[in-house]
Amino acid sequence: MSRGGCNIGAARMERVCVFEWRYGSEEMRRLFLVEHIVKRYVDVEVAVMQGLEEAGLVPRGCAEVLRKCAEGVKPEEVYEREAVTGHDIASLAYILGERCGECGRFVHLGVTSYDVVDTAWALILRDALTILKRRLWRVIEMLIEYAEKYRDTVMAGRTHGQHAIPITLGFKFANYVYELSRGLERLCEAEKRVVRSKISGAVGTMAAWSGKGLVVEAVASRVLGLEPHAISTQVAPRDGFAELVTDLAILASQLDRFALEIRELSRTEIGEVYEAGKRIGSSTMPQKKNPVTAERISGLAKVVRAFTITALENIPLMHERDLTNSSSERVLIPHVLLAADQMLLDMEKLLRVLHVDEKAMERNLQLTKGTIMAEAVMVKLVEKGVPRHEAHKLLSELSAMVSNGEDFYTILVKNEIVKKFLTPDELVKLLNPGSYLGNYKELIDRAVNYAKSVKALCVT
């Protein structure tokens, strides 16, 4: 029977399937169906047989025989046999050995189960990272479009939840362009270390292959399109898995940061940016426009971050290996990738429905009655000869007076020290938020160019 994308047969089949699908794309989900996982196991066994052929350890043609006889193997057969043997890879090897005639006696020769499992993981991770990198770049592209569209849209910059100095919305988006480009860069770097074959036998010495292990490894790796680990124990080093999961957790946190920004800016009291659309916001309050897509991104980020502990705990294994990583990785790897995939899907959705209220931004810029420009006035006073510490103290005192009802311009223009150095016309210009944006245009361009350079090296 089928349930949520997993084919469920024997009890073992249910355990190896990811729980009922809710998150992740169909293309990502397919990578973790038992049919696909068993197919990858078979791909590795066939590639190793080709290596054994090239090394002269098995008769020529056995790899092709194995490929053909493996076509009829169904996943449920493997896991039904595992219910008896207690070992999934051994079960597959037994089935292939029984069905492949004379060549069947060479199936899995000198191979340890984690040659198959870890190399299959590498193939699956390669496909998964291709999906994630492509999707992440699409998100970055959309952010670049927003950075360009709102390049000159002035808004309040905020630190500690308070108005700081003006920025532009395009500048805000460009910061996320840069950060997510770094996230993409990390995934590409991690891929080099985790997407590698592990074909080296029982404890990694290739002892069963009569001194021709490097030939077996090289041929099998070439067939699968992988580079081999330089050395390993019975398993591939788990630091690569931990690096990838940690990098995905960093990416999840970066997406969470953007989602949190949207959630904050969509508050009724701010209302500058919010999720648009016809979705029901509340089951009881008709007026609500809840940022549910952004909130789902933040919620899944918690899950991805939590998985880093599991990944790090899997690095220390006893001697040349123990089995403590196996059970946890069956949960860890699919779910962290599905969660990351869903977060990127949600980012695309969020960016498609994002509504920007420029009038709200203009209105909010006036909330402090001009004090958002206090630094600009201070800097100008220093240019005119006032010591910076004295100018800072003066502007702090004058800013505090705004709460008495008068706006900042009125207070400044009446102050004797300010009048000594600045004319009313100069104050009008200084209090214009659009006049104090620094090198924002060049900085936006620099962030966009950085992103494009990462894409050129990383995404095909």
Domain-located, residue 391: yes
Domain-located, residue 65: yes
Residue 175 structure tokens: 């910061």
Are 117 and 262 part of one and the same domain?
A: yes
- Distance between CA 290 and CA 403 in Å, rounded? 33
Q: Residue 50 in contact with residue 22, Cβ under 8 Å?
A: no
Are 314 and 182 part of one and the same domain?
A: yes
pLDDT attached to residue 279: 60
Are 26 and 51 part of one and the same domain?
A: yes
Domain-located, residue 213: no
Domain end position, chosen among 317, 335, 364: 364
Catalytic residue among 282, 327, 435, 453: 282
3-state SS string for 142-170: HHHHHHHHCCCCEEEEEECCEEEEEEEHH
CATH number at residue 253: 1.20.200.10
Are 62 and 164 part of one and the same domain?
A: no
Q: What is the pTM of this model?
A: 0.92
Domain-located, residue 51: yes
Are 195 and 93 part of one and the same domain?
A: no
Domain-located, residue 446: no
pLDDT attached to residue 289: 73
Torsion of CA 169, 173, 174, 179, to 10 degrees: 150
DSSP bridge pairs for 356: 273
87 is catalytic: no
- Distance between CA 61 and CA 70 in Å, rounded? 14
Q: Residue 229 in contact with residue 237, Cβ under 8 Å?
A: yes
- Distance between CA 332 and CA 317 in Å, rounded? 17
Burial class (CB in 10 A: 0-12, 13-18, 19+), 201: buried
Domain-located, residue 284: yes
pLDDT attached to residue 15: 43
What's the structural domain count of the chain? 3
Name the residue among 243, 231, 201 with its Cα closest to residue 113: 201
Give the residues of the chain that fall short of pLDDT 70.
Answer: 1-21, 277-288
pLDDT attached to residue 10: 42
CATH number at residue 37: 1.10.275.10
Are 192 and 329 part of one and the same domain?
A: yes
pLDDT attached to residue 283: 45
Are 169 and 41 part of one and the same domain?
A: no
Tell me which residue range forms the domain holding 248.
Answer: 113-151+159-199+230-364
Are 273 and 391 part of one and the same domain?
A: no
| DSSP track, 426-438 | HHHHHT-GGG--T
pLDDT attached to residue 7: 42
Domain end position, chosen among 326, 344, 364: 364
Are 135 and 263 part of one and the same domain?
A: yes
- Distance between CA 92 and CA 12 in Å, rounded? 14
pLDDT attached to residue 8: 37
Catalytic residue among 160, 283, 319, 389: 160
Are 380 and 345 part of one and the same domain?
A: no
How far does CA 66 lie from the centroid of its chain? 38
Are 349 and 275 part of one and the same domain?
A: yes
Location of structure tokens 């952004």 = 294
282 is catalytic: yes
Are 123 and 99 part of one and the same domain?
A: no
Domain end position, chosen among 45, 75, 106: 106
